[in-house]
Structure formats: C-alpha cells, structure tokens
Chains A and B, each alone.
Chain A
Amino acid sequence: MSDLCQHSLTQVRDLLCAREVSATDATLACLTRIERTEPHLSALLHVAADQALDQARILDAKGPDPAQPLWGVPIILKDVVATVGMPTTCGSRMLEHFEPVCDAHCVTQLKAAGAIILGKANMDEFAMGSSTENSAYGPTKNPWNLAHVPGGSSGGSAASVAAGQCFASIGTDTGGSIRQPASFCGIVGMKPTYGRVSRRGLVAYGSSLDQAGPMTRTVRDCATVLQVIAGHDPLDSTSMTAPVPDYAGQITQALAQGGSLRGVRIGMPEEYWGQGLAAEVESTCRAALDLAVSLGAEIVPLSLPHTRYAIATSYILAMAEASSNLARFDGVRYGYRSAQAEDLQALYVNSRSEGFGEEVQRRIMLGTYVLSAGYYDAYYKKAAQVRRLIRQDFLDALQQCDVICGPASPTTAFALGENTTDPLQMYLKDVFTVALNLSGLPGLCLPVGLGADTGLPVGLQFFANTLQEESLLTVAARLEAHLPTLPMPGLPYVAGR
C-alpha cells in the first residue's frame, strides 16, 4: 500500500479513474505514510483523517467522474489557506483555535475537482521565514536530511510532498516561499502570475506580492493542479479574467513532439550565475542547462541589472503591507485574546504581544517604521519606484528570450539553526526568488539533481512573461523528461523500504 505513495499525482489519478485503486485506498496509503514519517518530519499541523476517509467513501460510492480531474486525490494545504471544518493557524499562536467560516477559493475549486483535503501543513508564522523554523509549533525537518531545514515558508508542504504523504500541496509565495522549499526538498513548485489564482481565503502577508500555487512531484502534476485552482474569482478584484488554458494538454503536445527544445531561447542573467553561488548548485544547474542545449535550446546571456536591490525592495514592501494586514489581529473578532485586558488598549497590545512570535513582531515594527511620517518617501515610496525598475528588467530581458533561468537558491538546504540568530542573514538567502514577486510574473522551480557535496536537492527556476505559465510548464516538462528522475528521499526510518 505504501507503494502507492511513490506514484505521481497523474499516475494515481489514472489508477483512480480506471477504478484500479479506490479513493479510500489512496487516502489510507497517505495516512499510513503520514503515520510512519510524521514523527520524524513534523511537516503537518493537522491531519483530518476521519473527514478525509468520509469524503473518500462518498466519492467511492459515486464512482470516478471524468469532469473531476482530481477525483479521489489526497492533497495537503499550507496552513495559511482557509478551510471550513479544519483549523487554519498560519503557524501562529494567534490563530491556534481559529476555524474559518468559508473555504479559500482554491479549496472550493479543489473540492469541486474531487480532491480530498487530507490536512494542513506547517509553515513559518504568517509565512514570514525561509526555513519553517519560525513556526509557533516547532520546525519541520527536510526529508532528505533530518538535520536540515525544508526551506520556507511553505516548508511543511514541500517536505510532505517530497516524503509521499500526499500527491500535491498548495503553497503560497510572497518572496520565494513556494520555489525555495521546492528546491530544498527536490519537488516542483510554481508561483503563478499575480492574479492567476484567487487570493481569497489566504491569510494575507504582502497583498501585492502573495500568490498561491501548486507544489508537486512532477511538472505534469503541477499543470493539473494549476488548471484546477487558476481562474477568475468575483470576490477577488485582483484575480484575472483571462481564460485558463489546457496546461496538461500542452505538456502532452510538447512531449509528443519528442521533447525537443529546438527554438526555445533560455535567458541566463549574469546576476544569478556569479558570486555567492555554491559550487554544487552551480554545477548541477549548469549540467541541466547543458542538457537543454543538447535538446536544441539556445542560451541567451543577459542582465537583470537591478537584481542587487531586490531583497531590500521586497522586504520593505512586504513588511509595510504586513504591518497593515496584521493590524486586524486585535483580540476582538477572532484569534488570541490576552487574559491581561483590563482596558481596550491593554487588550490590543497584550493580545498582539503574546500572540505574535518575534519574527512577526520584528516585521510588523519594520513595516510600521517604513510607513511612518518622515520615512514613508525614503523607504516605502522609494522601494515602490525600484520595484518598477526591477519589473522593467524582466520585461526587457523577456524581449530577448522565451524564459529566464537561474538557480532557486544559492545553496542547498542549510542546517537547522544555522541562520536563526541573525535575521538579516536569513533574508539574504532569498536573493534569487524575491524579484519575481515584485514583477508579478510567473516562475517555476524544477528539481535538477542532487548536489555533489551535500547530496541534497538542487532546484532550477524559470521565469516567463505574464500569463505564460504554459511556457514554464512545457519547457520544464521537456527538460524533466530527459533528466534522471530523483528518487524519493531515502527515508531509512520508514519500515519496509
């Protein structure tokens, strides 16, 4: 039964549709896998075993439906995604007992597509972090090496998918929070174009940067999940009305033509391939690009000259937006309320000070500062101006190539505790991911091998123009088809392997 968890989402979906496997079988296989791996990984904050099995029985009684592309497929959601009937803690004490009254738009879409929501994944508190060490419920471990972080903030999702606890997860990405943990755990992660997936029901961090996206074991799985969650939502005015293409169909078409990359121009920005890049990351990524060239791709050297300003720009804007978004946590309507609340001011201040962890408080304070009178122009407005220059870099570069390509992280997964004492050092780890969110463009991280020095996964990311998710998926699928398949992490602690 455990073998079922080695399958990709697409494989298990085909077995489910052919009735070779029941939705109950698939759910039980994941639950068994969770039971064995979870004590070592701590990837999950909530497992809805009974609800999932009930849902599976209902689906089995009705039988597969061709109109439901995720019929019977167990999926785990990052705990920032609102779910009715399950907690949504955002990795924070502030929301420890919070149960949303509506599902997020993407959850409604997943359920309508027949997916089974199996549980909620660990994350950095309010998605603020790059290692999942900022969770109020303890860190998640990397399934490839339990002494290392899974990345963040969607680290629970990445570890869960990599370890075979589920067939896909939904993460969110404000400055790399899908792509960097996907890279660290050896899975596929996509941040779609801003507005491609509704943000309704995602607990907001940086509203102009946040975007939900799929985290899966293969590119085709990513396409299938994206197809389900993408599209216009009348209750999110920033969501796009553009029709959703047949992403999986386009992959089939691209692979049917032999998987050649002939005619594809891949831009290599010098800023992503130089100083500070670990040797094993550079060599693994370059080997993947050599493979792309052997498949017919053309490499276009180019520059994204404002890259060096991206971290400062991203953090200023994200923190400013966070300080405003997190003002809603006041101990009145939902969330934690301090017992020390003799008057209204004390209720606000004590509830927030006791409910938020230190990294969240630090970012709220920095955000408050950069928005305060006298500093607004110097920080917030300045960052918004640089944001436009960063976006223009991408648009100019994409005139010369079809996709832009660079490592997702300068190193493979770092050790637990390695970057927890100095917050700035942790922020600097996001050097290759933050610029994309500023631009609003889509990106995808593809696992391309294991680093020669650490034996940990290396991810290569691709960026494309607005709504060009199909370019990302078809380029990545062709490369994936010719790369050696990464095994599932060794998981020596799993009985029977």
Chain B
Amino acid sequence: MSITPDKAQRIAALAKLAISPDQAIRLAAQMDDILGYMDTLNSLDTSGVEPMYTPVEHVSVLRPDVMRQDISRADLLRNAPETNGESFVVPRII
C-alpha cells in the first residue's frame, strides 16, 4: 500500500479539499509515512476483540422530548457569511 500524489488528490476530493500538485506530492509522502507507522497495529492479533468506539459505560441519559427554542433565528444567522434575513444563502444550485 502506498499513497501516490494521484491518490492524495482523490482523498482530498472526498474530503472536499483542493490541493495543488506540489501539495499532493508532499502530502502523499507524509501520509505514506504516517500510514506506514499505523500499520504496526497489524502485528497485533485482535480477532474476537469487540471494537471500542466510546469510553462511555453508562446508558445515555435522555431528557424529555419537549420542544423548546434556546436560540433565535436572528442569532443563528448572525455568523453566516451570507443570508437574506431568513435563510442561509448559497450560490444557485438548480
């Protein structure tokens, strides 16, 4: 397994990032290095081990399913790069 600059470009596209050809060469080498190190995990037999995705041991505590408004529309729109006062605005998609 090795990360080529082409592969780095494809991964960037999946992550909605654009990288220059120079960056692709550099990132490919670095990712190859890092993933090579991570391959050390393969020397460990983990058959039968239940994956642990969270350290939470308690059952999630649920709160009553009651609708409430903590934040106003105006506050929610305040940090948006572009709005029409009611909605977030993005370039035309249709």
Q: Which of B3, B31, B42, B52 contacts A388 (CB 8 A)?
A: B52
Contact B54 A238 (CB under 8 A): yes
Which residues of the other chain, A, contact B17 by a CB distance below 8 angstroms? 349, 352-353, 356, 361, 364-365
Interface residues of B in 9-39 (CB under 8 A from A): 11-12, 14-19, 23, 27, 30-31, 33-35, 37-38
Contact B75 A344 (CB under 8 A): no
Q: Is B85 an interface residue (CB 8 A)?
A: no
Q: Is B67 an interface residue (CB 8 A)?
A: no
Contact A313 B54 (CB under 8 A): no
Contact B11 A312 (CB under 8 A): no
Contact A349 B46 (CB under 8 A): no
Bound-state CA distance A368–B16 (Å) is 10
Q: Is A490 an interface residue (CB 8 A)?
A: no
Q: Is A308 an interface residue (CB 8 A)?
A: yes
Which residues of the other chain, B, contact A240 by a CB distance below 8 angstroms? 58
Which residues of the other chain, A, contact B52 by a CB distance below 8 angstroms? 384-385, 387-388, 391
A contact patch SS: helix
Q: Which of A315, A334, A388, A423 contacts B49 (CB 8 A)?
A: A388
Which residues of the other chain, B, contact A2 by a CB distance below 8 angstroms? none
B44: min CB distance to chain A, Å: 6
Q: Which of A98, A316, A344, A366 contacts B90 (CB 8 A)?
A: A344
Given the contacts A343-B91, A349-B17, A385-B51, A315 and B81 also touching, CB distance less than 8 Å: no
Q: Which of B23, B40, B91 contacts A309 (CB 8 A)?
A: B40
Bound-state CA distance A306–B52 (Å) is 15
Given the contacts A353-B17, A386-B44, A341 and B91 also touching, CB distance less than 8 Å: yes
Q: Is A381 an interface residue (CB 8 A)?
A: yes
Contact A237 B62 (CB under 8 A): yes
**Number of A-B contacts defined by CB within 8 Å:** 171
A475: min CB distance to chain B, Å: 22
Q: Which of A234, A239, A241, A352 contacts B16 (CB 8 A)?
A: A352
Instruction: Specify which of A99, A208, A382 lies most central, judged by the most chain B CB atoms within 10 Å of its CB.
Output: A382
A200: min CB distance to chain B, Å: 11
Contact A349 B16 (CB under 8 A): yes
Q: Which of A208, A232, A241, A349 contacts B53 (CB 8 A)?
A: A208
B5: min CB distance to chain A, Å: 12
Q: Is A195 an interface residue (CB 8 A)?
A: yes
Number of interface residues of B (CB under 8 A): 52
Which residues of the other chain, B, contact A311 by a CB distance below 8 angstroms? 37
Given the contacts A101-B75, A368-B15, A440 and B55 also touching, CB distance less than 8 Å: yes
Contact B18 A350 (CB under 8 A): yes
Bound-state CA distance A387–B55 (Å) is 10
Q: Is B86 an interface residue (CB 8 A)?
A: no
Which residues of the other chain, A, contact B38 by a CB distance below 8 angstroms? 312, 315-316, 370, 379, 383
Which residues of the other chain, B, contact A347 by a CB distance below 8 angstroms? 90-91
Contact A309 B44 (CB under 8 A): yes
Contact B35 A366 (CB under 8 A): yes
Q: Which residue of B lies closest to A372 (CB)?
A: B14
Which residues of the other chain, A, contact B50 by a CB distance below 8 angstroms? 385, 388
Contact B79 A102 (CB under 8 A): no
Which residues of the other chain, B, contact A194 by a CB distance below 8 angstroms? 55-56
Binding site for A on B (CB under 8 A): 3, 8, 11-12, 14-19, 23, 27, 30-31, 33-35, 37-38, 40-42, 44, 46, 49-58, 60-63, 70-71, 75-76, 78-82, 88, 90-93
Q: A343-B91, A422-B33 are in contact. List 15 more A-B contacts (CB 8 A).
A: A195-B58, A237-B61, A238-B56, A239-B61, A312-B38, A323-B15, A348-B16, A362-B27, A368-B11, A369-B31, A372-B11, A389-B49, A391-B55, A423-B30, A440-B56
Pick 21 A–B contacts, CB within 8 A, sort by A: A102-B71, A208-B55, A232-B61, A237-B62, A238-B56, A240-B58, A241-B58, A332-B81, A352-B17, A353-B17, A353-B18, A362-B31, A364-B15, A365-B31, A366-B31, A366-B35, A382-B41, A384-B52, A387-B51, A422-B30, A439-B55
